[in-house]
A and B are shown apart, each in its own frame.
Chain A
Amino acid sequence: QKEVEQNSGPLSVPEGAIASLNCTYSDRVSQSFFWYRQYSGKSPELIMSIYSNGDKEDGRFTAQLNKASQYVSLLIRDSQPSDSATYLCAGKGVQAGTALIFGKGTTLSVSS
């Protein structure tokens, strides 16, 4: 199993819908997780971090962490065309200190 896995997509949703982005991780990833958004040709920017089991909400974004299932997700409510980007899931690696281990990203396309 890769350390952090994401479905590459593309995930297509209509404007106003809920977009659900999923990520699974291996034992080589620690319990701190981050969702970054990356627009084409730009560098990643942090959307949310989550450290504890359960849900964490910030505006239209909700991150969910399930440590037993080694699963983390990001929900985007009321999706907007401006949300169209690649979403990178990252976790802190156990052996590599605090360097982040990134998934390959899921491309989200929100149509108006």
Chain B
Amino acid sequence: GAGVSQSPSNKVTEKGKDVELRCDPISGHTALYWYRQSLGQGLEFLIYFQGNSAPDKSGLPSDRFSAERTGGSVSTLTIQRTQQEDSAVYLCASSLGSLETQYFGPGTRLLVL
């Protein structure tokens, strides 16, 4: 079946602009995660959605970052007033349940000029 998909695959923006990144999880997966990976760094947890529960936002680096998940499926990560340090690969993962294996999408490569 289809895996996790993300769009756009690449995004170049100017400092100060807002960007929206999209994630389509695997059908039926109730848990959805956003991570960020900067060059030479490990994966940094951003936010986690599980079903209808309130999301765990403990990893969001600043209030410029927000995410929502509509209808328990598609999720959008929004970065307002982008800064150069926001440049990274943003990865989305989903899992069947909160204790199950996470499957990653191909990522969105964000470059803030």
Contacts and interface: CB of A to CB of B under 8 A. Distances in A.
Interface of A: 4, 32, 34, 42-46, 49, 88, 90, 93, 95-105
Nearest to A104: B42
Interface of B: 31, 33, 35, 40-45, 48, 50, 56, 58-59, 91, 98-99, 101-107
A96 B45 contact: yes
A85 B101 CA distance: 20
B101 A96 contact: no
B94 to A, nearest CB: 12
B11 to A, nearest CB: 16
A97 B56 contact: yes
A15 to B, nearest CB: 26
A43 B98 contact: no
B41 A99 contact: no
Contact of A99 (B33, B91, B104): B33
B42 A43 contact: no
A48 to B, nearest CB: 10
B59 A96 contact: yes
Contact of A96 (B41, B58, B102): B58
Contacts of A95: 58
A35 to B, nearest CB: 12
Contacts of A4: 42
